[in-house]
Amino acid sequence: MKTNRNMPVLKAAAISLIASTIALSACSAPATPAAPAAPAPAAGKKTITFSPLALAIPALKGLSEGVKGVGASKGYDVIVVDPNFEPPKQAQQLQELINSGRTHAAWVIAINPGSMKPVLDLAKEKKVVMVVNGVPADYGYNGLQPGITFSRINYEAFGGGVGDLLGQCVKAKLGGNAKVIFMQSQEGAAGKKEQEDAMLAKLAAAAPGAKIVANIITKDRAGAQTSVSQALQANPDANAVMTTTDEGGLGALGAFKAAGKPIPCIANAGGNDEVLAAVKSGEMYGAAVLQFQKDLMQTFDAIETMLKDPSAPGKQKEVPLELIKSP
């Protein structure tokens, strides 16, 4: 009977032990092969941190793999952090890495540049070099700063390219008139206003007969597909789609196919592998594509230059952009 009475105690102790072991083993679990499993970098190796908007974005996940690969080939340890669209989390993670001396350089695609000035000031103080998106004014600076290179996405050109591509498609395939489903970015997305304003302006200039019949906020691909299906119920004669994201374009394509409607004119901003294939096959008319792989190489060049002299002023660069069209 005594054993029975003790069973719950033993069970509790066992569960505590297992839980602690799982938690601690999770903490110390080995990283994926490209990431360091131990905290300290190898002797003499410098560490580069990559902090994108979120690894949930396939293009940025792919970019993070590229950073790891290029970093390893150049003899760097690479840490990838995932702020998951949370600006405070991104600032916190970077402060931890810079403040502790764990990283020597960081490539940051800031979710909210306005909140990152304390991080950049800390980096300057600790001689940690940074490549960040945007321009100095986004971070509250008047000009270029020592040890910081700014990399700008030209949202006007990015959005304008999409609007222009759709206008070309409307003129070429629809005789200049179209009913357009406009798939916008989520509230608070970086560059949303500049990008979307430029899209509308360029579309109006290239195809004045194109009319927006539905506005949809794109959150993910499944949601985009559902929303476009619903928009098609209200606007069965919609025949063009202009979208700010890959997820929006692919979701719209799926919705038109599911509805058994002819493939419309689709112009897309982004350019993941699936979108590139859709453009190549002619399912999408065109896409404005940020050339992240080219940007990757120029970013590493900038980091290596700055690491040689962290007190020298950084530069202003721009993420390469390319417009592609179906053959």
In the complex, which residues of this chain contact other proteins (CB under 8 A)?
A: 2, 5-6, 8-9, 11-12, 15-16, 19-20, 22-24, 26-29, 31-32, 35-40, 47, 55, 77, 79-82, 84, 86-89, 91-93, 95-97, 99-102, 112, 114-115, 117-118, 140, 184, 186-188, 192-193, 217
Q: SS3 of 265, please?
A: strand
Q: Which is nearer to other proteins, 92 or 226 (CB)?
A: 92
260, 264, 267, 270 alpha-carbon torsion, rounded to 10°: 10
In the complex, least distance from residue 318 CB atom to other proteins, rounded to whole angstroms: 22
Nearest-10 Cα torsion for 109, 291, 272, 259: 110
282: CB partners within 8 A, 6+ apart: 326, 327
Q: DSSP 3-state assignment of 323?
A: strand
Contact at 8 Å (CB) between 268 and 162?
yes
For the CB of residue 49, give the shortest distance to other proteins in the complex, in Å.
Answer: 8
- Of 31 and 259, the one with the shorter C-beta distance to other proteins is 31
CB of 60 to other proteins, least distance (A): 12
As measured in angstroms, the least distance from the Cβ of 88 to other proteins is 5
Q: Which strand (E) or helix (H) includes residue 232?
A: helix 221-234
Cβ closest to other proteins, residue 9 vs residue 43: 9
Dihedral in degrees, nearest 10, Cα atoms 203, 209, 213, 215: 10
CA distance 134 to 269: 18
Nearer residue to other proteins within complex by CB, 75 or 118: 118
Is 22 or 205 the residue whose CB approaches other proteins more closely? 22
Q: How far is the CB of 23 from other proteins (least distance, A)?
A: 5
CB of 188 to other proteins, least distance (A): 4
C-beta of 257: minimal distance to other proteins in Å? 29
User: At residue 325, what are phi and psi to the nearest 5 degrees?
Assistant: -130, 155
Instruction: Give me the amino acid identity at 55.
Output: L
Q: Rank residues 155 and 285 by Cβ distance to other proteins and give the closer one.
A: 155
Tell me whether residue 38 or residue 312 sits nearer to other proteins (CB atom): 38
Q: How far is CA 218 from CA 41, 116, 247, 285, in A?
A: 40, 27, 7, 20
